[in-house]
Copies of this chain bind each other. A is one copy, B any other.
Amino acid sequence: MSENTWSAIEKTVAQEAFKKAYERETNDLIDQLSEKIKGVDNIDAVWEIHDYLSAKRHQIDGRYYLTMQKYLGQENDYSALVFLFADLLKEKWLLREDLSGLSPDKISKISALSYL
C-alpha cells in the first residue's frame, strides 16, 4: 500500500496503535497526578497542578479527540496519522512494534519524522 492508501489491515493496525498510545499517555497522566498530589501542602502547589492539567488537557484534546472525530466522521483521513504517529513515537507513547503491519513506506516516513 502506498503512503496515501490505507488497506483495511493497516487501518486496524493504526486504530490499535492510536488506542495504545492514548491509553499509555492518559495512564501516565493519572500516575503523574497521583505523584504530584503527594507533596502538596499549599495553595500555590494546587494551582501548579491546575496549570499542568490545563496544558495536558489541551494537548490530549488536540492530539486524540480531534483525531477520533476524524475517524468517526466522514473524512476518514488516515494520512494525517503519519504525523501524529511520528510525534507519539518521539515521545515514546508509541513503540515501533505497535506499527507493525503498516506498509514499509509509511513506517519509514513515520520513523523519519520522529527524529525531527
Number of copies of this protein chain within its complex:
2
Q: Of B40, B50, B60, which one neighbours A34 at CB under 8 angstroms?
A: B40
Known pairs A30-B46, A34-B37. 14 more at Cβ < 8 A?
A26-B46, A29-B43, A29-B46, A30-B40, A30-B42, A30-B43, A33-B37, A33-B49, A34-B40, A47-B57, A49-B53, A50-B53, A50-B57, A53-B53
Q: Of residues 1 to 33 in A, which have CB atoms within 8 Å of B's CB atoms?
A: 26, 29-30, 33
Contacts of A26 in B (CB 8 A): 42-43, 46
What is the bound-complex CA distance between A39 and B112, given in angstroms? 41
In this assembly, does A75 line the interface, its C-beta being within 8 Å of a C-beta of chain B? no
